[in-house]
Structure 1
Amino acid sequence: MPQHALNTPVCRDCDGFPVVAITTGTRNPDGTRTTLTVTCSTCKGTGHATRSASLARAGR
């Protein structure tokens, strides 16, 4: 059965994946990789975009 998703738009910059871990290529003394955690600056880590107000022209 399909899962029901919330009716909120997905952020167009992060495509719904707001937090990622990036490896720097260096290793810690215990042998693990050094990673940076980066959060999407557009949606502030929520993964959802806020609906923007649309502009409608009326008249001539």
Structure 2
Amino acid sequence: MGDQIQLSPDSILRQVLNNYWAILSTVIAFYFASRVLDNQTAGENVEQEPVEKSEQELGKQ
């Protein structure tokens, strides 16, 4: 943490671009976690056995 955090628009943009992959992966992780917790995960986006089993059980009822 030797870098000093500056608040000028250019330095903020530079810091965001430097941390682009960390930010992107965090956003994607939270997005999919919320989808799975809400049981709204579409089969074509994320294939998981619990989702497929629940769909089969719904079809039997």
TM norm. shorter chain > 0.5: no
TM-score between the two structures when normalised by the length of structure 2: 0.21
- The alignment's TM-score, normalised by the length of structure 1, stands at 0.21
Q: Considering Cα pairs closer than 8 Å and 6+ residues apart, tell me whether 1 or 2 has the greater RCO.
A: 1
